[in-house]
Amino acid sequence: MTAVSIAFRPPAPKPRETPLGFFGMISALRRNPLEIWTRAHYELPVLVGRGVMGDRAVVSDPMGVRRIFLDNAANYRKDDLQLRVLRPALGNGLLTSEGDEWRAQRRSLAPLFTPRQVAAFGEAMAQATREGVERFDRRRPGQRIDMAQEMARLTLEILEHTLFSQGLGRDTGEFQRAVTHYFDTVGRIDPFDLLGLPQFLPRLGRLRGRATLDWFARAVDDIVAARRSLIESGETPPRDVLTLLLEAQDPETGQGMREDDLRANIVTFIGAGHETTANALTWTFYLLSQAQDWREKVEAEAQAQLDAGPIDTLPERMPVTRAVFEEALRLYPPAAFLSRAAIADDEISGKLIRAGTVVTVSPFLLHRHRKLWREPDLFDPTRFLGENRDKIDRYAYIPFGAGPRICIGMGFAMQEALIVIAHLARRFRFDLAPGHRVHAVQRVTLRPQGGMPMVIRPLQPQITSA
Ligand code: HEM
């Protein structure tokens, strides 16, 4: 029986009527930054304020977003708070470097993510996913799984098959736990940082995360050493991202990447490339579990398309699945909070942005802005189908950021997501575990609090050979 199409409205944080006071703000930022937004944030294009934490602006006007990320991008650097959260692990890699250093790295790394190179990763992505499907096959029908953990494991395995094909030299479960621990410790906003207290004062989260950081450093040493010894042994190394990183040269200067930048980028790709996609997939399967009509459409598309052409053309061949994924990225953008600091005075939507102002563009807020979207909290993938897609303002929908610092892994993530959704939707149904209340929290990424318990069932009886 085809399920009736009932528009699904996932639970959303209720906008506050009044802004939080100083201590309320500190505690909400630490607990869950999604809770700070007021009705005005959801309705006005720009809010500028001066508080104990300095000058702040929240911009949700697409023209303003364009100005910050593109037209006047040179005037906006990554702000100190963001760097304090990310740099302990990501060092001076692509996500966290600035100015000429960033430009040189981006030039060297861009060839790793060209459409051609991403297409070449398609088969490896599919292979890793098929191994994931086998793991799901071993589950009892009706068994409870944590989809968030499953997706984290699968995306990590995909990174192993594509970026670091000799393996990460560690158990993926161990890696997964280390990344989660990092986000829960170092990745949490520290009240001391908000108060602008000096760096020599120890931050509890960072102390708790130190062992994880050492663990990452050792893991990266091993990854690099294993590859170098393979190259030295005269064997042809696999053409994966690690080899490309080792060979990467700035096309302008011909220089190779510095040793610490190389290491920083290995951690950056693992960190930025795994959690984000895993969360996006988790939210997608949650939304599908609540919107049966869309789930059936995705299942039908997967049945018809998965084996009907080259794997890297799935994003074009599966427009409905793509629209569902894009809608999941709208409602639950994994990078829910982007920020910059203004270097010189600027004007955005008629408001003065003083030099030093920390400007926040929150994809979460922007994607649910009352003046930019019809029924913003409603799950409605038709927004991304056919002509509707063209009506969306480029700067009202920015799950991957925008301008020169747009996500370098965007094409990689889209292809990966479609491959994973198609393989799983063709074989299984995932329903939310009865009684579970879904609640989004923002750490470094937007994740479901307490995971996403779901019940797995095979979609069709397995064909077993005699
Ligand atoms: C659904 C998945 C993903 C989402 C939503 C996402 C989101 C983003 C966003 C919003 C930015 C811009 C940050 C800013 O402007 O401050 C970004 C940058 C970045 N992303 Fe992604 N990302 C995803 C997947 C990936 C993957 C798969 C990789 C690598 C394999 C990756 C690597 C990076 C890197 C290295 C940067 C820094 C780029 C630069 O500053 O030049 N991301 N990502």
List pLDDT tens digits, range 299-311: 999 999 999 999 9
**Does the reported pTM lie above 0.75?**
yes
> For the chain, what is the mean pLDDT?
88
Query: Over pLDDT 70: what percentage of the chain?
Result: 90
Q: What are the pLDDT digits (tens) for 409-463?
A: 999 999 999 999 999 999 999 999 999 999 999 877 899 999 999 999 998 654 4
Q: What are the pLDDT digits (tens) for 89-131?
A: 788 899 999 999 899 899 988 988 999 999 999 999 999 999 9
Q: Could you tell me which residue, 337 or 283, shows the higher pLDDT?
A: 283
Looking at the CA of residue 280, tell me the nearest atom of ligand 1.
1
Token code pair at residue 389: 């897609």
Q: How far, in Å, from the CA of 407 to the mean position of ligand 1?
A: 4
pLDDT of residue 45: 96
Looking at the CA of residue 159, tell me the nearest atom of ligand 1.
30
Q: Which of 136, 137, 211 is nearest to 174 (CA)?
A: 211
Confirm if 365 and 41 have CB atoms less than 8 A apart. yes
Confirm if 3 and 431 have CB atoms less than 8 A apart. no
| Cα-to-chain-centroid distance, residue 458 | 28
Going by C-beta distance under 8 Å and a sequence separation of 6 or more, which residues neighbour residue 185? 205, 206, 208, 209, 212
Looking at the CA of residue 265, tell me the nearest atom of ligand 1.
35
Q: Could you tell me which residue, 207 or 5, shows the higher pLDDT?
A: 207
Looking at the CA of residue 363, tell me the nearest atom of ligand 1.
10
Listed in sequence order, the DSSP H helices in 121-240 are 122-137, 147-162, 172-184, 191-194, 204-232
Q: How far, in Å, from the CA of 200 to the mean position of ligand 1?
A: 30
Confirm if 372 and 306 have CB atoms less than 8 A apart. no
CA–CA separation, 331 and 204 (whole Å): 32
Is the pLDDT confidence value at 85 over 80? no
Looking at the CA of residue 155, tell me the nearest atom of ligand 1.
27
Q: How far, in Å, from the CA of 444 to the mean position of ligand 1?
A: 12
User: Ligand 1 pocket by C-beta < 6 Å: which residues?
Assistant: 94-95, 106, 268-269, 272-273, 276-277, 280, 334-335, 338, 399-401, 405, 407-409, 412-413
Confirm if 224 and 262 have CB atoms less than 8 A apart. yes
Least confident residue range of 149-153, 165-169, 245-249, 270-274 = 165-169
pLDDT of residue 22: 79
Domains of the chain: 22-458 (1.10.630.10)
pLDDT of residue 207: 59
Axis crossing angle, helix 410-427 with helix 259-290, rounded to the nearest 10? 40
Query: Over pLDDT 90: what percentage of the chain?
Result: 59
Q: How far, in Å, from the CA of 280 to the mean position of ligand 1?
A: 13
* Adjacent-strand bridge partners of 347: 352
pLDDT of residue 220: 84
Q: What are the pLDDT digits (tens) for 19-47?
A: 888 788 888 887 888 988 999 999 999 99
pLDDT of residue 38: 94
CA–CA separation, 87 and 15 (whole Å): 31
pLDDT of residue 5: 47
Q: How far, in Å, from the CA of 251 to the mean position of ligand 1?
A: 22
Pocket test for ligand 1, best of 155, 276, 442 (most atoms within 8 A of CB): 276
Token code pair at residue 199: 């760096």
Averaged pLDDT for residues 62-83: 94
CA–CA separation, 33 and 320 (whole Å): 32
Which of 29-33, 201-205, 253-257, 437-441: highest mean pLDDT?
Answer: 437-441
Q: Could you tell me which residue, 433 or 233, shows the higher pLDDT?
A: 433
Tell me which residue has its CA closest to atom 41 in ligand 1.
405
Token code pair at residue 101: 């250093």
Q: How far, in Å, from the CA of 260 to the mean position of ligand 1?
A: 20
Looking at the CA of residue 333, tell me the nearest atom of ligand 1.
5
Residue written as token pair 């098929």: 130
